[in-house]
């Protein structure tokens, strides 16, 4: 989790993949200006929670990694990654501080297989490393609405890297998160039937104090009213409720943070407007077993459609989570 000093940092868009139903499409290229790549080097690492890397693609100028034989799937659907800022090489899309970065031309092919009984959305963290395991980059991909028994294929790009970076020789699946597709946060640019899009940001931390921001955007065509606090259900890795945690309104017993204890006020959002809330806790460990809560089911208000976000709350042994009231975004 990235740490900074601000309260409720801006949302980092992480929902980057879509699936195509019943069809196959060409894989994603390595981006504008990328070097030519050699045929994919097969990867035979076992799958992690249904996600398997099938090949590592390196620029032709790079020496070959050790090849191995891997199975090829048949009759799957395919997911392609949407472009990230900087992929096109346009100056206005290149993040500040990375102007001298170059396109690595490195990518990995993967497949996601749903062996469960319900349609799932997968969020996968891929880690690119050197031959000795030094991490050269992480990329997070979201594969949406994988139906039971189906396989989705995609390509993850390492993207732009600093000049002279050590050579990448391996890629692995570092983390897989799954949630029911009908409760997954909506991707950027789409609007659920509810007319609202609820997401969580990457969070802030300082001296053991954690804050994660919630954002509710009215992406529909009608006004949307709020008055109070989001309803929260804490969930474990199996999406079962976590007991023993006191969810409090405001920061009482957690910390005094400006604005976090502001009382709820009616908010009416016109289409295109948004509201924010926040989750706050301390990662303090004393006697007892530390509690980690990966998922939170959020109801924007009573009767609203639930959305599951994954802030990965490391609550320690405090047994307490604060939530702030919805307020109009600025």
11 part of a folded domain: no
6 part of a folded domain: no
Q: Are 313 and 210 in contact (CB under 8 A)?
A: yes
The per-residue pLDDT for 252 is: 87
- 145 shares a domain with 116: yes
- 155 shares a domain with 236: no
- 200 shares a domain with 143: no
Alpha carbon 105 to its chain's center: 23
Can you give the pTM of this predicted structure? 0.76
Residue 181 main-chain phi, psi, to 5 deg: -60, -35
User: Token match 């959002």: residue?
Assistant: 269
9 part of a folded domain: no
Alpha carbon 278 to its chain's center: 18
pLDDT band at 80 (very low <50, low <70, confident <90, very high): very low
- 168 shares a domain with 66: yes
Q: Are 155 and 80 in contact (CB under 8 A)?
A: yes
- 165 shares a domain with 253: no
157-216 tens-digit pLDDT: 999 999 989 999 999 999 999 999 999 999 988 999 999 999 999 888 777 899 999 999
156 part of a folded domain: yes
Domain around 75: 17-183
What does the pLDDT average to over 104-131?
A: 97
- 324 shares a domain with 253: yes
- 299 shares a domain with 225: yes
Alpha carbon 162 to its chain's center: 24
Number of domains in the chain: 2
- 296 shares a domain with 270: yes
Q: Are 124 and 173 in contact (CB under 8 A)?
A: yes
Is the pLDDT at 79 greater than 60? The verdict is: no
Q: How many residues does the chain have?
A: 330
- Of residues 118 and 29, more confidence is placed in 118
């Amino acid at each position: 989790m990235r740490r900074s000093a601000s309260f409720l940092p801006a949302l980092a868009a992480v929902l980057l993949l879509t699936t195509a139903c019943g069809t196959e499409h060409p894989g994603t290229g390595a981006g504008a200006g990328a070097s030519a790549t050699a045929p994919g080097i097969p990867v035979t690492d076992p799958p992690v929670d249904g996600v398997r890397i099938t090949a590592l693609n390196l620029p032709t100028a790079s020496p070959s990694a050790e090849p191995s034989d891997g199975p090829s799937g048949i009759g799957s659907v395919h997911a392609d990654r949407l472009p990230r800022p900087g992929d096109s090489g346009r100056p206005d899309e290149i993040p500040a501080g990375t102007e001298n970065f170059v396109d690595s031309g490195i990518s990995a092919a993967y497949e996601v297989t749903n062996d469960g009984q319900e349609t799932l959305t997968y969020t996968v963290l891929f880690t690119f490393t050197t031959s000795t395991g030094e991490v050269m980059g992480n990329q997070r991909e979201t594969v949406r609405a994988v139906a039971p028994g189906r396989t989705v294929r995609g390509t993850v790009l390492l993207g732009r890297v600093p000049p002279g970076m050590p050579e990448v020789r391996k890629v692995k699946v570092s983390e897989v998160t799954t949630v029911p597709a009908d409760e997954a946060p909506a991707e950027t640019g789409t609007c659920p039937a509810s007319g609202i899009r609820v997401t969580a940001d990457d969070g802030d931390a300082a001296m053991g104090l954690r804050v994660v921001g919630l954002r509710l955007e009215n992406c529909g065509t009608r006004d949307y009213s709020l008055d109070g606090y989001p309803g929260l259900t804490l969930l474990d890795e199996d999406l079962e409720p976590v007991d023993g945690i006191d969810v409090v309104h405001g920061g009482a017993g957690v910390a005094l943070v400006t604005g976090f204890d502001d009382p709820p006020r009616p908010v009416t959002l016109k289409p295109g407007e948004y509201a924010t809330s926040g989750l706050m806790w301390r990662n303090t460990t004393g006697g007892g077993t530390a509690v980690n809560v990966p998922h939170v089911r959020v109801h924007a208000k009573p009767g609203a459609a639930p959305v599951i976000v994954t802030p990965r709350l490391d609550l320690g042994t405090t047994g307490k989570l604060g939530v702030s009231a919805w307020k109009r975004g600025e």
